[in-house]
Structure 1
């Protein structure tokens, strides 16, 4: 009997909870489910597939290759303990696959004399100890540049093994055969970094070398990935970035890794692979190449779980400081806009509503900002403005930020400030930086000349990429690098120091959306378990309908999560939340809503009409009001009503009917009680000789046309 009630009630709810006309409804069949004992401590089972390409399988020691890789990660929020269990599986590409991939590389590459960049380490070492003496450290080099997009897309379309349903695939490749001995010719990858605001290809590096001494720097990738759930590591490829990191960050480095300065050919040449020691050393080297992307991109230890909130605000001010000298506010509006920022944040964090506001100000019109800036800035003898980054950042946080956002709002509230001024630098402890972010605030100091090409006219790069970087800091992201681990900066995401892309990486999105759903599911399950434990044994049948549906939705949400279908998992958990509300209200409210003042305007007719009614419910509240339209005693169409000031309204579009139309409404409250109005009917009466209004014009035209034809025939006959 209980199952019969469940079927009947769920059938009615299925009809109501739609937002488009339905003709056919599927029956519901209850199922048995395994109920987890507790989900406030939530666990997920992730996987990483490692595909070894073009290596001798005999020299791969899988245990050494995976040594030091995490088998689990534990992340804590104020409400939830998240545990990710991680399994690894290693595969070896066969000869046919290697041949096909090699052909893709050759078909999508260019070999030339000035296709890449080499780093003058001697000049960099000199500049490190003479910060006031800029150096040329980048020079062109010869080699084969491979289109990373083309390789990545081919791997996505032709994976050697299927991707794990919840996890990532890493390709460890070897293309040493493309290089010559002595590094005269090398290969590397082009991963198309661009500036989001101008669309310009990035051919400049960090601020200390973003100058005329170092033109046309190419961003040479040895690893790449992040547009899909795939990452490619090529230890045989040329790169200069890790060599730069080794020198520039040397004060923070305790352990140097061979792959920073030695490519695969260098390493193999120094080893005896016929000995166990040589094989072990090679696998240690390869393991170190894999460590960064697995630990910082796939299963990051450095980020905080996404904030489980309902909304996000980015309130940004772009402060123009040279208006009096002729640089107008309007001339700088191209450097970013609210639409660009909002698109990036919605892509990253789609479950919450985002409000993004960007305003451009003339600092001379805002005395408080003028004072705040110059309280923490000085002029050097050569006329350069030196901003004290930390001092200004904290002054803004303490005194200016509260004027623009609600600092006590538990949702995401990021306050961003951008200072644009000619001949300006921001310093922290003697080093030069562009921006700071954290604690719900970002501040960017970027000199005017860095926005333009050397002609000081052509826009080069704006601040959307930097603002996204700093905003992600403010909501809990750390860099894709940590000291001694820099190679994850070769990914697509915005949190590195190597290059910029238009948007966020799949790794970033998976992190935010996955950890958000972890918390959402754990909290909802805990709420459901507590409320379920309080149910009696003789509740209304509707209560058991809700209980059954909730169990089904949690299982479905888990399945969708394990397929990394984040949006569908979110929608399913939202449904579960609604059913938890229905379950509880059904124990308190057994009185149906009251429907009054049902009105059809202008009247029931096939050209369309409006249906309005007053619907009230004094306890659980009205959840849904739906208009039912039955045509010719056959198909029934449903139209959801919208509520305004206590009146529920639905617009019925034009339709075709031949004999009769019947209209009524049903109303549900959150206790799953149903009320149904009287049925209003209209009979279609059509004379066998009448023409429907909509066809009258066509009918007249046909008669007129026939008349013209007859006249023409008569005239022709008379001429004969």
Structure 2
């Protein structure tokens, strides 16, 4: 078929509306694909393992009654369905003692190892926000290294982990505590600031001050460095009590008992010899388990990952006190593009990420300086930024100057304001940053970046920037009102501790939902292309169809093992086979290798470059390879790269060869092959050519 006619046919095929597609005779494979469900259904499993609980006190139906069993994720007119099944196990006594040994040998017991919450002072500060209080007091107890416990549980699982899912360990170490909470135990999950490397011994901005030094972030649960979560309802914690008071109002009608009662308190409040008492205990445990399942493992608050081809994070860091002796260069440590790019690549590795961070003196940008002053005021010597209106003004007036708002890919624009004695207020409260709609803004006072000596770096903005960037990508917090337990995790989306990067829960959600959308998109396109290729009799088209089905099946198998990278590669392979199937049905002409040669000429056996000019004005060139037959026996194949004009490959390591037979292969996307004539080089002829070149010179 002539090339112009082929192009016209392919154009018509691609543009033909679905309702006008011609009928065709289906193969069995085509029929199976056509009958495949329009939605994607994934069967996830969460295996709950109790460690240290009496079997007769655990009633699985009651404990599981309120846990989520399905997540429905809309994708156009289709739905991605996550079914959530539960497996349940009791760890035996031997396993309990092994875990206890890890706990006892990796913990510190002391009189001021932890932190207690002064609820009276917290309530007072809530009613009098302009009067900061000391709300944290030292307390006695055992501080357990959460990382070591988590790593041991990952390396020594009590059960075989689900192929697609998680293991959730529920521990009970009540015997480590004393009656009346005089001595308690908790876990240290190593919260750390990404930029300074300092261990986090401070809490959020209202208490990030000299009145509340050396705060211990006590964790009652932890997880996210692997596909497990660990919850110890018997552990001490103050964060749930703080959140209950700070984010809600009396009489706290919707609160759950675990916010204020640990396991010992709950056991003492019921009669476990009665069915009602045991039911109440299991309801308590189920409610405690709900948050890490519903907000980390199967997060209902997140949107599916943006199904895009690339990502850009463009950030401006404004130093606002240069005239007062704070040079721009002194702030370059608070974040950097390599850190942000690494975190985003870890979160969504299937697309290229570009990050650009500029550190600027706001005095050099009058428009920005005016915008900031328009939406801020000085009250009693403190600069108060009006967060909501300023965020909106930046979005409407400035964002489009730095990123393309019409670009369908991820384009996040971020601004960081660094100024002495500043705070941002929104919704009647004080916050550090806001994010959403592809924009992040951080207002962080200069004093909060440093230790009290105003010299030693304490905390930068990488964690905050990552938190807000993830919001801009559609991810929500790990908490909701009265649901705060999931903030005990490695995720940066909580309000408790900071960690260096994203959690495995974040990564699994983003990558799995990206792949879900990719598979749905490919299956829809495959159905369409099967119709378009129905009349083709070429064996290449049939082969491409079979390879597509195989690649899709292999992708599903890899998905079900949580091998996200492997799944992505197989779906990408399916995409390429669909393309070959479509083009092979209408293009049977090989590409043309117009010219090719070597550099240097005459050829050097130790190293030389092969170049080729290859054209295919319809299906397009898919790949070009150079073949070298060494001494007439061993064939080596080298893939060429396209440099915009030529396809090139560098061949190395033939110093000991006597002869080389070299040729070029080219394939187009229609599965048509072109092969050049072979050229033989021998060491004798090469030496003669080289001597001739020297004599001519």
TM-score by length of 1: 0.89
- The answer as to 2:353 corresponding to 1:360 is no
Please give the alpha-carbon distance, in whole angstroms, between the structure 2 residues aligned to 1:201 and 1:603: 63
Q: Which has the larger radius of gyration?
A: 1
Please give the alpha-carbon distance, in whole angstroms, between the structure 2 residues aligned to 1:462 and 1:273: 49
Question: In the TM superposition, what is the alpha-carbon distance from 1:682 to its structure 2 partner?
Answer: 2.2
Match of 1:225 among 223, 235, 240: 223
Say which is worse superposed, 495-504 or 243-252, in terms of deviation. 243-252
Aligned position for 1:445:
443
- The answer as to 2:270 corresponding to 1:271 is yes
Question: In the TM superposition, what is the alpha-carbon distance from 1:613 to its structure 2 partner?
Answer: 2.2
- For the Cα contact (< 8 Å) 1:631–1:657, is it kept in 2? no
1:12-51 equivalences under 5 Å are: 35=33, 37-38=35-36, 40-51=38-49
Question: In the TM superposition, what is the alpha-carbon distance from 1:165 to its structure 2 partner?
Answer: 0.5
Aligned position for 1:643:
642
- For the Cα contact (< 8 Å) 1:39–1:522, is it kept in 2? no
Please give the alpha-carbon distance, in whole angstroms, between the structure 1 residues aligned to 2:230 and 2:61: 20
User: SS at the partner of 2:413?
Assistant: strand
Please give the alpha-carbon distance, in whole angstroms, between the structure 2 residues aligned to 1:247 and 1:652: 69
Aligned position for 2:617:
618
- For the Cα contact (< 8 Å) 2:512–2:564, is it kept in 1? yes
Please give the alpha-carbon distance, in whole angstroms, between the structure 2 residues aligned to 1:33 and 1:221: 54
Aligned position for 1:433:
431
Aligned position for 1:156:
154
* 1:324-366 per-position Cα deviation (integer Å, ceiling 9, x unaligned): 1111111111111111111111110111111111111111111
Please give the alpha-carbon distance, in whole angstroms, between the structure 1 residues aligned to 2:249 and 2:394: 30
1:294-333 equivalences under 5 Å are: 294-333=293-332
- The answer as to 2:590 corresponding to 1:592 is yes
* 1:644-665 per-position Cα deviation (integer Å, ceiling 9, x unaligned): 3432222111225554321111
Please give the alpha-carbon distance, in whole angstroms, between the structure 1 residues aligned to 2:532 and 2:337: 48
Question: In the TM superposition, what is the alpha-carbon distance from 1:621 to its structure 2 partner?
Answer: 1.3
Question: In the TM superposition, what is the alpha-carbon distance from 1:61 to its structure 2 partner?
Answer: 0.7
Please give the alpha-carbon distance, in whole angstroms, between the structure 1 residues aligned to 2:507 and 2:45: 17
* 1:37-82 per-position Cα deviation (integer Å, ceiling 9, x unaligned): 3454211111100001110111111001111111111011336421
Match of 1:424 among 392, 414, 422: 422
Please give the alpha-carbon distance, in whole angstroms, between the structure 1 residues aligned to 2:55 and 2:293: 21
Aligned position for 2:286:
287
Change beyond 3 A, Cα 1:534–1:32: closer
Please give the alpha-carbon distance, in whole angstroms, between the structure 1 residues aligned to 2:435 and 2:644: 44
Question: In the TM superposition, what is the alpha-carbon distance from 1:383 to its structure 2 partner?
Answer: 0.4
Say which is worse superposed, 511-520 or 646-655, in terms of deviation. 646-655
Change beyond 3 A, Cα 1:106–1:351: same
Match of 1:249 among 247, 250, 258: 247
Number of corresponding residues: 659
Please give the alpha-carbon distance, in whole angstroms, between the structure 1 residues aligned to 2:645 and 2:245: 69
Gaps of 5+ in 1: 1-29, 694-720
Aligned position for 1:711:
none
Say which is worse superposed, 634-643 or 485-494, in terms of deviation. 634-643
Question: In the TM superposition, what is the alpha-carbon distance from 1:428 to its structure 2 partner?
Answer: 1.6
Please give the alpha-carbon distance, in whole angstroms, between the structure 1 residues aligned to 2:594 and 2:154: 58
Aligned position for 1:60:
58
Aligned position for 1:462:
460
* 1:674-697 per-position Cα deviation (integer Å, ceiling 9, x unaligned): 1111111123449xxx9xx9xxxx
User: SS at the partner of 2:457?
Assistant: coil
Aligned position for 1:508:
506
TM-score by length of 2: 0.92
Please give the alpha-carbon distance, in whole angstroms, between the structure 2 residues aligned to 1:417 and 1:332: 14
Please give the alpha-carbon distance, in whole angstroms, between the structure 2 residues aligned to 1:658 and 1:315: 52
User: SS at the partner of 1:560?
Assistant: helix
Change beyond 3 A, Cα 1:32–1:228: farther
Please give the alpha-carbon distance, in whole angstroms, between the structure 1 residues aligned to 2:349 and 2:318: 29
- For the Cα contact (< 8 Å) 1:615–1:647, is it kept in 2? yes
Aligned position for 1:186:
184
- For the Cα contact (< 8 Å) 2:605–2:657, is it kept in 1? no
User: SS at the partner of 2:324?
Assistant: coil
User: SS at the partner of 1:324?
Assistant: helix
Aligned position for 2:121:
123
Match of 1:568 among 552, 566, 569: 566
Change beyond 3 A, Cα 1:179–1:32: farther
- For the Cα contact (< 8 Å) 1:80–1:523, is it kept in 2? no
Aligned position for 1:706:
none
Match of 1:557 among 549, 555, 558: 555
Please give the alpha-carbon distance, in whole angstroms, between the structure 2 residues aligned to 1:40 and 1:353: 30
Aligned position for 1:98:
96
User: SS at the partner of 2:316?
Assistant: strand
1:70-219 equivalences under 5 Å are: 70-78=68-76, 80-219=78-217
1:371-450 equivalences under 5 Å are: 371-380=370-379, 382-450=380-448
User: SS at the partner of 2:350?
Assistant: coil
- For the Cα contact (< 8 Å) 1:39–1:526, is it kept in 2? no
Please give the alpha-carbon distance, in whole angstroms, between the structure 2 residues aligned to 1:566 and 1:255: 38
Please give the alpha-carbon distance, in whole angstroms, between the structure 2 residues aligned to 1:625 and 1:591: 16
Question: In the TM superposition, what is the alpha-carbon distance from 1:251 to its structure 2 partner?
Answer: 3.3
Question: In the TM superposition, what is the alpha-carbon distance from 1:605 to its structure 2 partner?
Answer: 4.5
- For the Cα contact (< 8 Å) 2:172–2:234, is it kept in 1? yes
Change beyond 3 A, Cα 1:446–1:406: same
User: Aligned Cα RMSD in Å?
Assistant: 1.9
Aligned position for 1:370:
369
Question: In the TM superposition, what is the alpha-carbon distance from 1:149 to its structure 2 partner?
Answer: 0.3
* 1:454-482 per-position Cα deviation (integer Å, ceiling 9, x unaligned): 11111100000000000111110110001
Aligned position for 1:679:
678
Aligned position for 1:664:
663
